[in-house]
Amino acid sequence: MRIMLAAALAAFVSPAAAQVLRGPGDFSGIADQTERSVALFEEMGKVLTHPRCLNCHPVNGGPTQGDDMQPHEPPVVRGVADFGAPGMNCATCHSAENVEFVGSPGSIPGHEPWALAPLSMGWVGLSLGEICAQIKDPERNGGKDLEALHEHNAEDGLVGWGWEPGEGRTPAPGSQELFGELTRAWIDTGSACPS
């Protein structure tokens, strides 16, 4: 149990293991379309389960932070709008851009908007299969069909922040463009989920 340990700045812990994100072409050798679809989603999973994404897709109250996913410091809560508590919401500290600290290592992340994923989209601790099922379910993904999901993965700015996370944080593997391509290929192959 480490939750009471203050989060060390990510710059000073070993960076999340550098991962290479493969493109859709790397999966063309899988003949079975469903198998290929599953493999594509598993590749997407490198992004989905990266600390940059998981930190703001918690299944409990508040976010985590850093490459080692420590509890957010200062302690914050989700709030009714996934945007913190009245009097201390996300925008009390996070602005529209990453801001490097002055005279201190690291930076505070930022993007407009900056908020937690809804509770229905929490996936910390879930298997890839569970995440996959959840991500496809309009009841839980904010009413997105697969096209909207692709657009979210490929275009959404806050998703894209995962590859531009500011000093002291390891970017998600690959690029948003590649993540979008993987999503496209996954959809085109039937959006199958890992079991």
Partner 1 sequence: MIKLGVNGKEVTLDLDPETPLLWALRDELRLTGTKFGCGVAQCGACTVMLDGMPRRSCVTPIGSIDGSEVTTIEGMEGPEIEAVQAAWAALDVPQCGWCQSGQVMSATALLQLVSNPTDEDIDNAMNGNVCRCATYVRIRQAIHDAAKTLEG
Partner 2 sequence: MTHVSPQLSRRGFLAGTAGFTLALTLPLGGARAQSAAASGSAPFAPNAFVRIASDDTVTVMIKHLEMGQGPYTGLATLVAEELDADWSQMRAEGAPGNDALYANLLFGAQGTGGSTAMANSYMQMRKAGAAARAMLVEAAAAEWGVPAEEITVSAGKVAHPSGKSSGFGALAATAAGMAVPEDPPVKDPKDFVLIGTDRPKLDSVAKANGTAGFTMDVYREGMLTVVVARAPKFGAKLRSVDDAAALQVKGVEMVREISSGVAVYATGTFAALKGRDALVLEWDESGAETRSSAQMLQDLSDAAKAGGAMVEEAGDAGAIDGAAEVLEAEFRFPYLAHAPMEPLDAVIETKEGKAEMWFGSQFPSFDKPTAAGVLGMKPEDVQINVLLAGGSFGRRAQGSAHLAKEVAEVAKAAGRDGVFKLVWTREDDLQGGYYRPATVHRLRAGIDAEGRIVGWENAVANQSIMAGTPMEGMMQNGLDPTSYEGSNDLPYDVGARRITWARVDSPVPVLWWRSVGHTHTAYAVEVFLDEVLEKAGKDPVQGRLDLMLPEATRQRAVLEKVAEIANWSGRRAEGKGYGVALAKSFGTYVAQILEVEDRNGFPHVTQVWCAVDCGVAVNPNVIRAQMEGGIGYALGTALFNEITLGEGGGVEQHNFDGYRMLRISEMPKVEVAILQSGEDPTGVGEPGVPPLAPALANAWRALTGQTVHQLPFSTLTA
Q: For partner 1, which is the closer residue by CB, 26 or 68?
A: 68
In the list 25, 29, 103, 143, the residue contacting partner 2 (rule: CB under 8 A) is: 103
Residue 143 binds which entry of partner 1, partner 2, none, with Cβ cut-offs from 5 to 8 Å by kind?
A: none
User: x/- site string to partner 2, residues 38 to 77, per CB under 8 A?
Assistant: -----------------------------------xxx--
Crossing angle of helices 128-136 and 146-155, rounded to 10°: 110
In the list 31, 104, 143, 195, the residue contacting partner 2 (rule: CB under 8 A) is: 104
Q: For partner 2, which is the closer residue by CB, 29 or 74?
A: 74
Tokens of 126: 């879930």
Residue 14 binding partner 2, by CB under 8 A: no
Q: For partner 1, which is the closer residue by CB, 11 or 133?
A: 11
Interface positions with partner 1 (CB under 8 A): 73-77, 79, 84-89, 91-93, 95-97, 99, 101-104, 106, 108
